[in-house]
């Protein structure tokens, strides 16, 4: 399953949208079925923010590989983060600290978008339009109403679409650079199941909520730098053990993006945390402090906020039986042209002029074409989110509108649904998905930090 909730570096991608908005990635599964990453979980503004504030004279605050970050760009992003925090009731650090954090997010985003474009990654208008429509659906409004609310917040439709395009570029870059390189072996699954059985027994699976302070260590740090960071981490750990408020310590000292939430990640299974964190905290009671513990990112101080148990792996699931037609895009066929062609197929099938399976056998570029596009029965999480979301919205017999993925454009028909008891193999597949997400999160954190280290960043005037 492509549910990426935790990652040391993932929250760096949080930008105009809610935290983790693009926290899921593409994962081709089954017979070539695929779909675009999760649509940004954008909460639309109900009242103006920037439009009520005096606009400062614009100037450059940083340069990322020759591309500027302007003061107004930073202020717009800062206002959105503040508005989101207010809506969620979250406490933010002082403005100057938050400015630096938001600036770092912008720097990482620009570095990723630049790398994506240099690597030939493109996002066509059709994919942006589908993302825009999905955002409107998530907020239960029309696209026109969404644009009206955004305009009240000084965000033009063109700017919003470009921001969506940027997020999609970053996601496709991540898919190429990180996701596709992660593998989970049968031995990994066996070890996970043994650990779960050992830790949980008949009582269920342990879940924990950790709070975290990261004292980052720069790549190729000198012995002096390393000693200074270790000393700083030990000081934070001592303060935490002495009873100082951990959330305040996280906001004051942590280099992790979770600092704005007091360093808290939320209740989740042990499998969703790095092994290093689990090993350091598994014997601690609620309220216990671990660390500093060393990782490739730096020194970590951990607090056990909560412990719980769930019932273990779900024994039943609602499965879907679908088929699809995939048209590959390229120089000879754009996304828009492919979508128009699939829309024509959809009309022909619905009007009784053509058979879906026959069209799939003749035109689909997927491995399932010989079977009339039939993908067989699939448990939740088998397909990547955009494909699965479109499929889940259908009633049996229904046909989706064209759906964009990095593999091309799909037309999906849902044939049947059923609730079944999962086989041992299907449960192992769910474990495989869980482990894969964990490995991807860890790999992404390392990759993003390396990209930031390699980027040429020149800080200019102090942000206002």
pLDDT digits (tens, 9 = 90+) for 388-406: 888 988 999 999 999 988 7
Read off the pLDDT of each residue in 421-433 and give the average, rounded to a whole number.
Answer: 80
Structure tokens at 13: 């991608």
Please say if the pLDDT value at position 219 is more than 60. Answer: yes
CA dihedral 24, 27, 33, 34 (to 10 degrees): 40
Domain 205-310 has CATH 1.10.287.3510: no
Contacts of 63 (CB under 8 A, 6+ apart): 69, 456, 457, 458, 460
Residue 154 near residue 211, CB atoms below 8 Å: no
Weakest-pLDDT range from 250-254, 343-347, 383-387: 383-387
Q: Spell out the SS3 assignment of 285-330.
A: CCCCEEEEEECCCEEEEEEEEEEEEECCCCCEEEEEEEEEEEECCE
Range with the lowest mean pLDDT among 250-254, 258-262, 285-289, 450-454?
Answer: 258-262
70 forms bridges with which residues in the sheet? 60
Confidence of residue 205 (pLDDT cuts 50, 70, 90): low
Give the pLDDT of residue 19.
Answer: 28
Q: Angle of helix 223-241 relative to helix 246-253, nearest 10 degrees? A: 160
Whether the Cβ atoms of residue 401 and residue 341 lie closer than 8 Å to each other:
no
pTM of the model: 0.59
Greatest alpha-carbon pair distance for the chain in Å reads 75
The mean pLDDT of the chain is: 80
Model confidence band, residue 31 (pLDDT cutoffs 50, 70, 90): very low
As a whole number of angstroms, the distance between CA 134 and CA 128 comes to 10
Paired tokens of 307: 């412990």
Distance separating alpha carbons of residues 375 and 412, to the nearest angstrom: 10
Radius of gyration of the chain (CA): 24
Q: What are phi and psi of 90, to 5 degrees?
A: -85, 150
Residue ranges per structural domain of the chain: 10-183+454-459, 205-310, 316-421
Contact status, residue 206 vs residue 311, Cβ threshold 8 Å: no
Asked: is 316-421 a CATH 3.30.420.40 domain? The reply is: no
List, for residues 140-185, the tens digit of each pLDDT value.
788 888 888 888 877 888 989 998 999 999 988 988 899 888 889 8
Can you tell me the mean pLDDT for 207-214?
Answer: 88
Q: How confident is the model at residue 197 (pLDDT cuts 50, 70, 90)?
A: low
Q: In this structure, which CATH number among 3.30.470.10, 3.40.640.10, 1.20.1270.10, 1.10.4030.10 belongs to the domain 10-183+454-459?
A: 1.10.4030.10
Are 205-310 and 316-421 in the same CATH fold?
A: yes
Q: What is the pLDDT of residue 295?
A: 85
């Amino acid at each position: 399953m492509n549910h990426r909730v935790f990652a040391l570096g993932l929250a760096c991608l949080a930008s105009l949208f809610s935290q983790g908005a693009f926290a899921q990635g593409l994962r081709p599964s089954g017979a070539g079925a695929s779909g675009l990453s999760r649509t940004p979980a954008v909460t639309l503004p109900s009242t103006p923010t920037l439009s009520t504030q005096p606009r400062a004279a614009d100037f450059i605050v940083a340069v990322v590989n020759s591309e500027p970050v302007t003061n107004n760009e930073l202020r717009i992003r800062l206002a959105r983060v503040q508005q989101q925090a207010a809506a969620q009731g979250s406490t933010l650090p002082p403005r100057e600290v938050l400015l630096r954090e938001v600036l770092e997010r912008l720097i990482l985003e620009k570095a990723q978008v630049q790398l994506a474009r240099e690597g030939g990654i493109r996002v066509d208008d059709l994919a942006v339009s589908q993302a825009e429509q999905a955002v409107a659906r998530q907020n239960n409004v029309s696209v026109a109403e969404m644009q009206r609310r955004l305009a009240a917040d000084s965000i033009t439709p063109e700017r919003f679409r470009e921001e969506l395009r940027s997020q999609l570029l970053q996601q496709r870059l991540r898919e190429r650079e990180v996701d596709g390189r992660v593998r989970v072996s049968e031995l990994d699954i066996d070890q996970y199941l043994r650990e779960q059985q050992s830790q949980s027994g008949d009582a269920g699976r342990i879940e924990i909520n950790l709070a975290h302070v990261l004292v980052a260590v720069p790549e190729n740090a000198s012995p002096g730098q390393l000693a200074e960071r270790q000393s700083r981490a030990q000081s934070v750990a001592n303060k935490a053990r002495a009873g100082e408020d951990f959330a305040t310590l996280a906001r004051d000292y942590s280099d992790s993006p979770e600092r704005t939430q007091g360093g808290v990640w939320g209740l989740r299974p042990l499998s969703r945390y790095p092994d290093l964190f689990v090993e350091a905290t598994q014997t601690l009671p609620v309220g216990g402090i671990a660390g500093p513990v060393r990782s490739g990112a730096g020194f970590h101080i951990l607090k056990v906020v909560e412990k719980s148990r769930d019932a273990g792996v779900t024994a039943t699931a609602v499965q879907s039986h679908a088929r699809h037609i995939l048209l590959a895009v390229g120089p000879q066929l754009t996304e828009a042209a492919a979508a128009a062609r699939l829309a024509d197929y959809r009309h022909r099938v619905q009007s009784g002029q053509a058979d879906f399976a026959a069209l799939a056998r003749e035109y689909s570029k997927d491995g399932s074409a010989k079977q009339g596009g039939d993908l067989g029965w699939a448990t939740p999480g088998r397909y990547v989110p955009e494909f699965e979301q479109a499929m889940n919205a259908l009633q049996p017999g229904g046909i989706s509108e064209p759906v964009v993925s990095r593999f091309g454009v799909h037309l999906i028909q849902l044939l049947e649904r059923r609730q079944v008891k999962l086989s041992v193999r299907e449960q192992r597949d769910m474990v495989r998905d869980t482990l894969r997400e964990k490995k991807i999160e860890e790999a992404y954190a390392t990759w993003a930090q390396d990209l930031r280290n390699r980027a040429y960043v020149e800080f200019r005037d102090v942000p206002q």
